Structure 1
Amino acid sequence: MVSQPEIPDPQTRVERPSENELVVIRSFRAPVHLVYRAWADPALFRQWWIPRSCGMTLVSCEMDVRVGGTYRLEIGHVSMDQPMTFFGTYLEVEPDRRIVWTNEESAEGAVTTVSFAERAGGTDVTISNLFPSAEALEQELASGACDGTAESLRQLNELLQG
C-alpha cells in the first residue's frame, strides 16, 4: 500500500494513487473559465503561483499555453546567485477543461495534468503529477512540494475571490 502524504490545509486534498503519482485536489467558488484563465494567462499565473512564505519571486514567466507551446519560469531569491529555472512543453490544452505539460528541468521531472470540472457554480481542480519513478516522487515529497502547492492554491483562491 502506498502511503498518503499529509497536508495541513483542510481545503486541499492530496492523494497518492500509485508509487509514482501524486494528486492534489481543491475546489474553488469561481466559474471554470476564470479558474482556467488563472492557469493559462501569464499575468494572472504570476500573481499566485509562488508561495509567499518561501520569500521567492517569479522573476520571469513565459507561457505559450497551446499544444506544442512551451513555458519557462525563473524563480529567484535573495540568497541565490542564479534563479531556478523550470521549463517544459504543453502536450494537451483543452480550454476550461485540461492542461497537460512536461517538467523538463531534470530527468526526474513529472508530467503534470491539471483538470478543471464545473460543479455547483464552482470549479474542482485536480492536479496530477506522474513521475518517472517512485524515487523521483519521494524526492518531490521530501522537498516540501505539497505544502508549497497548498499555499499556492490558497493564493489562487484569494485571487479568484478578490
Structure 2
Amino acid sequence: MTDLTITRVFDAPRELVFDAWTTPEHLAGWYGPVGLTTPLSSISLDVRPGGTWRATMISDADGTEYPQGGTYQEVVAPERLVFTWGAPDDPARQALVTVTLAEADGKTTMTFLISSLPQDMRESVHEGWTSALESLATYLEPT
C-alpha cells in the first residue's frame, strides 16, 4: 500500500471548493480525468459520516463506464472531507481520501491525500486525479 498527496491552489473561496466536492450539480461539472464525463444522473451523495456516494464516469471516446463510490468517514464543512474511494463492488481496491481546504486571501489551498492505495494503482491514480483536479481548477475559474 502507498500514499499519494497532491496540493493545489484554487482561485475560489473555500466554501465553493467544498461545495464542488459535495454537491451533485458541481461534481458533474468536473469529476473525472480529461476524456471522461460524469453525468449528473449517475451521482448520488449522502454527505455525512457513514453516508455513501456513487458516481459513474463515462469515456467520451467509447462510452465505457467507470463506476466509483465509497463511504464518508468525516465531514467538517467547509474544511475537511474523508471518504473511501474506488470501485464500489471491490472493497479490497478502495483507498481512503482526505481533502483538506484552507483559505487565504480569497484563494483555497487544497491538500488531497489518498492513502491505503494498492501499489499497482499508484501511477494511473496519480495521472487520473492530477487530470481531474485540473478540471476542478478550470471549473472553479472566475467568470
Alignment correspondent of 1:147: 127
Q: Is 1:116–2:101 an aligned residue pair? A: yes
Asked if the contact 1:68/1:90 (under 8 Å) is kept, the reply is yes
Alpha-carbon distance in 2 for matches of 1:79, 1:98:
33
Aligned structure 1 segments of 4 or more residues deviating by more than 6 angstroms? none
Larger Cα Rg: Structure 1 or Structure 2?
1
Residue 125 of structure 1 corresponds to which residue in structure 2?
A: 110
- Alpha-carbon distance between aligned partners in 2 of 1:118 and 1:44, rounded to the nearest angstrom: 19
Which residue of the partner structure matches residue 51 of structure 1?
A: 33
2: CA distance between counterparts of 1:140 and 1:49?
19
- 5 Å matches for 1:3-152? 20-52=2-34, 54=35, 56-59=36-39, 60-77=42-59, 78=62, 80=64, 83-103=65-85, 105=87, 106=90, 107-131=92-116, 136=118, 138-142=119-123, 144-152=124-132
Q: Which residue of 1 aligns with 2:136?
A: 156
Gaps of 5+ in 2: none
User: What is the letter of the counterpart of residue 120 of structure 2?
Assistant: Q
Q: Distance in 1 between matches of 2:131 and 2:79?
A: 23
Question: What is the letter of the counterpart of residue 147 of structure 1?
Answer: E
Which structure has more RCO (C-alpha within 8 Å, separation ≥ 6)?
2
- Number of matched residues? 135
Unaligned runs of 5+ in 1: 1-18
The CA distance in 2 between the partners of 1:149 and 1:20, in whole Å, is 15
Contact 2:12 2:107 (C-alpha < 8 Å) held by counterparts: yes
The CA RMSD measured in Å over matched residues stands at 1.8
Deviation at 1:109, TM superposition (A): 1.3
